[in-house]
Amino acid sequence: MADRLVKLEIDGAVATVTIDRAEKLNALTSEMLESLAEIATQIESNNEIRCVILTAAGDKAFCVGADINVWSALAPLDMWRHWVRRGHQIFDQWARLRVPVIAAINGHALGGGLELAAIADIRIAVAAASFGMPEATIATCPGWSGTQRLVGLIGASRVKYLALTGIRIDAKEAWRIGILHECVEGGNVLTRARELAVGICRLAPVSVQLTKQIIDAGEGVGAASALEAMAGALAASTVDAGEGLASFREKRKPAYRGK
């Protein structure tokens, strides 16, 4: 069942991931979170994919966050172990994908849904969408990086405004404060996302992916892994790297030349 609630389609170099639970406003269950994790792993291992579109079914909601019927039934320690903590891990996995992610926001993005949108590199939404952090209205707190990643995105002051009041803002205001990059009139947000994705796919893929890592590293996200990956790739391209491998195979001392 969960597999059908999060769908992956690959068209050339573009992967489209759709949360397909429109009748529940695309609220997330633990099984859906695990499907998102599995899909992220598939995307990361597929070198043919150059861009990902993350969207949802229906025209009312992108995602209204965690399914309250799921997390409200958990014991406090299970809430920490298997819900909040695991959600963080999966959202971080998505945020650190090698390829760019475009969130095509087709409706309301509330609570965990706004946190999910925040993992994307580019966010566009229909004009009818709304955005908010209503957790305090049901006596809980943001649990999937709303107090962290969103602060990095729009600043602590604006996050406080949303989280401490529980109010919703419309797409134009979300664009003004930096949540959105584009506000799309009408209902063609997925069409626009595909245009952006195709444009990205025309660019040099390694340059795009390295640029994403550099920008993220400058913001303190994955800096150590980015530096080590780039250093390893640079070292592997040298003449000395070939000499090192050859000497190992031939069981002799290497003659390095610094090239």
Q: Are 199 and 141 in contact (CB under 8 A)?
A: no
DSSP states of 78-103: HIIIIIIHHHHHHHHHHHT-SS-EEE
Label residue 157 exposed, middle or buried (CB < 10 Å: 0-12, 13-18, 19+). exposed
Give the single-character DSSP code of 29: P
Q: How far is CA 1 from the centre of its chain?
A: 23
Q: Helix 239-250 to helix 223-236 angle, to the nearest 10 degrees? A: 70
CB atoms within 10 A of CB 35: 23
44 flagged as catalytic: no
- The two tokens of residue 144 are 């999937």
Closest by CA to 160, choosing from 168, 151, 171, 172, is 151
Q: Which of 115, 173, 219, 250 is catalytic?
A: 115
Q: Which of 23, 48, 135, 243 is catalytic?
A: 135
Q: Rounded to whole angstroms, what are the CA distances from 147 to 58, 144, 156, 161, 176?
A: 28, 8, 8, 12, 20
Give the alpha-carbon dihedral of 208, 210, 211, 214, to 10 degrees. Answer: 160
115 flagged as catalytic: yes
Contacts of 26 (CB under 8 A, 6+ apart): 19, 20, 56, 57, 58, 61, 62, 63, 64, 113
Task: List the catalytic residues.
Answer: 115, 135
